[in-house]
Chain A
């Protein structure tokens, strides 16, 4: 009779097995960002240091990392030295001090060194909301025109940078070259 019908259960089993195997290695906390490909939202917020008001125009022109951080965020402390080293190597990093008190932020930057070329003070989390931030640390990759090209949720450590993010940043830098 139809011998191939006997293979149907095996086929179903293999299909389910592949699905479940893939599921083992998926991180459900990693959400696809709805912001990728969209322009960075407009904002007008004070700087963490000094009384300058920063707007979107200030972060345009160079591909950069926009790092969302706060002194209340424990994993930001782990990430901070890595950002310092990246900044030393010439990576452009802007900061968003998210839902923090400014005195704490200033103390933190004085104590642990400041890797940010600009640091936006987002006390109320309004910019964070427009960016779809749901925790910290989160890091957005923007190109020279201010389009969000990528997002990384979680701590950037040396390994993540080397294996994943360095190439993405380099691609943006290469693209910006005439």
Chain B
């Protein structure tokens, strides 16, 4: 019995999660539904960080979804809607931040590190090649004679 109750409680709680954050909006144009989905995926919830506003149950995320719906109805384009959000909540709300002086490191940092890695590898490879070329290909006659002597001595 206890098990059964636990299962029911677990099931109910899962159902709650699955149904959360689904609002019913009637879109005037079919294209708007797709844009709404895109925008709510790209904007980040300011309260529950690390969730987009499509995904979040926070009241503020619901408000922002409503606001996006309203602006879509007014015929605003995506850039206008994103600018509206950035004006109020800052670059933080964008999962794809705009390219500016403050976000340059974010955009180019990984590529820069990768490039740096390649440069280090190139330098090491080149240096090794140089070293190999520098080593004398064979022993001088005197050295060879001495080597033979040593080897002979060992064999005896």
CB neighbours of B64 from chain A (8 A): 129
* B109 sits at the interface (CB 8 A): no
Residue in B60, B86, B87, B92 whose beta carbon sits within 8 Å of that of A31 in the complex: B92
A130: interface (CB < 8 Å): yes
The count of A-to-B residue pairs whose CB atoms sit within 8 angstroms is: 35
Does A29 count as interface, using CB distance less than 8 angstroms? Answer: yes
In the bound complex, how far is the Cα of B67 from the Cα of A157, in angstroms? 33
Interface secondary structure of B, over-half rule: helix
Does A81 make an interface contact (CB < 8 A)?
no
Q: Taking the nearest CB of chain A, how far is it from the CB of B64, in angstroms? A: 8
Q: Is the CB of A132 within 8 A of B59?
A: no
| Complex CA–CA separation, A125 to B88 (angstroms) | 14
Q: In the complex where A28-B49, A29-B49 touch, is A132 in contact with B63 (Cβ < 8 A)?
A: no
Assess whether B90 is in contact with A32, with CB atoms less than 8 Å apart. Answer: yes
Chain B, interface size: which category? Answer: 10 to 19
Assess the B47–A132 pair: CB atoms within 8 A.
no
In the assembly, what is the distance between CA of A131 and CA of B88, in Å? 6
Q: Which residue of B lies closest to A124 (CB)?
A: B63
Report A-chain residues with C-beta under 8 Å of the C-beta of B87: 34
Category for how many chain A residues contact B:
10 to 19
**Contact of A99 with B90 at beta-carbon distance under 8 Å, contacts A29-B49, A134-B46, A134-B47 already known:** no
Given A28-B49, A129-B67: A135 in contact with B60 (beta carbons within 8 A): yes
A residues near B67, Cβ cutoff 8 Å: 129
Interface assignment of B89: CB less than 8 Å from any CB of chain A: yes
Q: Inside 8 A of A31's CB, which chain B residues have their CB?
A: 46, 89-90, 92
Q: Is A172 an interface residue (CB 8 A)?
A: no
Asked if A173 is at the interface of the complex by the 8 Å CB criterion, the answer is no
* Chain A residues within an 8 Å CB radius of B46: 31, 132, 134
CB contact list, B60-119 vs A, under 8 A: 60, 63-64, 67, 86-92
Known pairs A28-B49, A29-B49, A31-B46; A130 contacts B88 (CB<8 A) = yes
**B residues whose Cβ falls under 8 Å from a Cβ of A:** 46-47, 49, 59-60, 63-64, 67, 86-92
What would 12 A/B residue contacts be, using CB atoms closer than 8 Å? Answer: A28-B49, A34-B89, A34-B90, A125-B63, A129-B64, A130-B88, A132-B46, A132-B88, A133-B60, A134-B46, A134-B60, A135-B47
Residues of A within 8 A of B (CB): 28-29, 31-35, 99, 125, 129-135
